[in-house]
Structure 1
Amino acid sequence: MPFRLDPTPTFADRLRSTDRTLYGMWSCAGSPLSAEICAGSGLDIVLIDGEHSPIGLESILSQLQAVAAYPVVPVVRAPYGDPVVLKQLLDLGAQNVLVPMVDSVEQAEDMVRGVRYPPHGIRGVGSALARSSRWSRIPDYLARAKDLVSLTVQIETTAALAVAGDIAAVDGVDALLVGPADLAASMGKLGQQNHPEVVAAVERVIAAGRAAGTPVGVNAFDPTMAERYATAGAAYVLVGSDVTLLARASEALADRFIGAAPDSPAPAGY
């Protein structure tokens, strides 16, 4: 007899069940070992990045398998909002998907349809062939799939900022994530994600999400900003990444044992 399996709770489930801000980090190196190290850190969330990292479907699958043994929520960021890409990510077993650069209600609605089977969406039916259903070992997967997947969309432009509350209210959008770096660029303040106007914009999205009953998270590698956004009501905060931690820690070793390089620029935050 094959095992009958129940999937782990989704990101949406975890956000609903907690009474504190959740904290997470990005897995960007494309390494299952790195992802597993992150998963064992004690943080709540590991974000596997398919947008800005050199990884494909096989690497994402390996990272999901590596972190599965740990009590952490894995979220996979798609490279862009495309129903075919979402179908592939869901079928390989990503329960929690994040879509970047969602600028409108219509885009958000399209992404919802992309993660749902007909008649509520357009996700192709291939679960018997896929890890998502554990090859039909999750009972009633097709009927339950809508509740076994969570969708988060990113607010990263002034266009999205203008309708953030409406995007948050779209049925099937489980959470928002604000990207201050891209938002700053869209506001004409490239590289200035801690600029007061950008910070105020992030806090407006947090407030809009709370008004709609939708959790909002934010990237904030600066601990002071992370604490500020948590105080403002962010449901989750992404406070680092594997690659930036390695870069800064290795630089600190070089500074200590060799000496600081002359005129070395300060690293930019995410």
Structure 2
Amino acid sequence: MWVCSGSPLVAEICAGAGLDWLLIDAEHSPNGLEGILAQLQAVRGYPVTAVVRPPVNDAVIIKQYLDLGAQSLLIPMVHTADEAAAAVSATRYPPLGVRGVGSALARSARWNRIPDYLAHASETITVVVQIESAQAVDNVAEILAVDGIDAVFIGPSDLAASMGVLGQQEHPDVVAAVEHCINAAKAAGKPVGVNAFAEATARRYLAAGVDFILVGADVALLARGGEALAAKYVQAPGTGPTSSY
């Protein structure tokens, strides 16, 4: 599930829920470096994989997230193989990439307590890129072929917008594009994930072979739960929560 609240306490509650993985999001959420660090620390003691999404595919931001101790990154808005290669390069030290060297000062190397961290750091990092535009769908095979790309994740919301059907994640053309990317990932032998809050959609994509999926968000659960209480105890008959994502 998504962790969008920016709260380490909420992140820890989510981490203990029995889910497989959490996405600590900084693209659409109020998460700065200190907040991401606190959330990584809060979930560390639980058997859940923490994935962090930066706001942009930027080498400086990626460097900072890695130094905080993030090991799995979901890079948004990757449209081409060159952009995918840039994301990988940002996670590798020279000569394989452009990651700045500061491990002696960073949580990632436990402040220089991990032997040979510089030589082996890339072995502990997972790079997932987000396919969320018609252009990216067209280029998905080339993106998957980039050395160092470990998986792709499909974002139907932005994909629908780029295809001219804003807000229509269930549009047949969007579904077809998602399934095309799933098939491309399977052909490339790499894991593929997708965002799907509606259970029927999630079940369909699971049946189509996705390997990991986002099916909810902390803030959405709180909003819908609060609306349900209001509808039960406060709101007048005939009114209720508004439709939502």
TM-score, normalized by the shorter chain, greater than 0.5: yes
Residue 56 and residue 118 in structure 1: after superposition, are their counterparts in 2 closer, same or farther (change >3 A)?
same
Q: Return the alpha-carbon distance in structure 2 between the equivalents of residues 250 and 212 of structure 1.
A: 43
Out of 76, 90, 93, the residue aligned to residue 117 of structure 1 is 93
5+ long unaligned stretches in structure 2: none
Q: Return the alpha-carbon distance in structure 2 between the equivalents of residues 238 and 81 of structure 1.
A: 21
Q: In structure 2, the residue corresponding to 1:46 is in which secondary structure? A: strand
Out of 47, 55, 72, the residue aligned to residue 79 of structure 1 is 55
2:19 maps to 1:37: no
Name the structure 2 match of 1:202. 178
Extract structure 1 runs of 4+ deviating beyond 6 A. none
Name the structure 1 match of 2:131. 155
2:25 maps to 1:54: no
Q: CA deviation at 1:266?
A: 4.2
Name the structure 1 match of 2:219. 243
Aligned 1:84-123 pairs, distance under 5 A: 84-123=60-99
Q: In structure 1, the residue corresponding to 2:204 is in which secondary structure? A: helix
Greater RCO, CA 8 A, separation 6+: 1
5+ long unaligned stretches in structure 1: 1-24
Name the structure 2 match of 1:6. none
2:203 maps to 1:227: yes
Out of 180, 194, 213, the residue aligned to residue 189 of structure 2 is 213
Query: What is the one-letter code of the residue matched to 1:68?
Result: R
Deviation string, structure 1 residues 217-267 (Cα, Å, up to 9, x no partner): 000010111111011010101000000000001100111112367565742
> In 2, are the aligned partners of 1:254 and 1:260 still within 8 Å (CA)?
no
Residue 158 and residue 95 in structure 1: after superposition, are their counterparts in 2 closer, same or farther (change >3 A)?
same
Pick which of 194-203 and 152-161 moved more.
Answer: 194-203
Pick which of 194-203 and 63-72 moved more.
Answer: 194-203
Q: CA deviation at 1:169?
A: 1.5
Q: Return the alpha-carbon distance in structure 2 between the equivalents of residues 202 and 260 of structure 1.
A: 41
Normalising by structure 1, report the TM-score.
0.88
Query: What is the one-letter code of the residue matched to 1:136?
Result: N
Name the structure 2 match of 1:14. none
Q: In structure 2, the residue corresponding to 1:240 is in which secondary structure? A: coil
Query: What is the one-letter code of the residue matched to 2:62?
Result: L
Q: How many residues are treated as equivalent by the alignment?
A: 245
Query: What is the one-letter code of the residue matched to 2:138?
Result: A
Name the structure 2 match of 1:27. 3
Deviation string, structure 1 residues 146-185 (Cα, Å, up to 9, x no partner): 1011111000000001011111121101111100000000
Name the structure 2 match of 1:170. 146
Name the structure 2 match of 1:254. 230
Q: Return the alpha-carbon distance in structure 1 between the equivalents of residues 239 and 185 of structure 2.
A: 42
> In 1, are the aligned partners of 2:79 and 2:133 still within 8 Å (CA)?
yes
Out of 158, 168, 185, the residue aligned to residue 161 of structure 2 is 185
Residue 81 and residue 255 in structure 1: after superposition, are their counterparts in 2 closer, same or farther (change >3 A)?
same
2:243 maps to 1:267: yes
Aligned-residue RMSD, C-alpha: 1.2
Normalising by structure 2, report the TM-score.
0.97
Name the structure 1 match of 2:113. 137
